[in-house]
Amino acid sequence: PLERKWVQVSLGMCALFVSIIMLDALFHGVNAPSNVETIDSRKIHLSEEFGEDNLGVQVAENGEITVRLVAGRYAFFPKEITIPAETKITFRWVSMDVLHGVHMPMTNMSTMIVPGYVSQVESSFPRPGEYPMLCNEYCGLGHDHMWSKVSVI
């Protein structure tokens, strides 16, 4: 009888956790990453989208802002970007070598940058200021120095 009680308790906890995940997905829009766009890491600097001429902040004709960044040992390229506050911005990252991550403290920005895939995150920054963009996946001896500067104006 005591065992049965604990089985019931653990099944109840499982049901609770699954329902929290379901509620977050349905009502808060929290979903597992579903963007599985692929890219050949070796061709990033030759590619149309992630070529050297096309990195950084781009404003489309309809005003939508896209920021394309390449992560590589040990920097994000370009190393400095300037973006407007209170504006929806689409960030697209790729890695040219190994697994990196990106994290901007005090914002909702945090994602992995897996070689071979495009990581896309939409965000907007309510307050102007300077934000560091840090690598948060260990990527080698220079990992601690891998960061770049985002100016929000």
* Beta strand extents in the chain (DSSP E only): 56-59, 65-72, 75-77, 80-83, 89-95, 100-103, 110-113, 119-123, 129-134, 147-152
Binding characters for ligand CUA, 99-128, by CB under 6 A (x = yes): -x----------------------------
Residue 17 touching ligand CUA (CB under 6 A): no
Considering only 70, 83, 114, 139, the residue that binds ligand CUA (CB under 6 A) is 139
Residue 146 touching ligand CUA (CB under 6 A): yes
Q: Which is nearer to ligand CUA, 81 or 135 (CB)?
A: 135
CB contact set of 137 (below 8 Å; sequence gap of 6+): 99, 100, 101, 112, 113, 143
Interacting residues with ligand CUA (CB under 6 A): 100, 135, 137-139, 143, 146
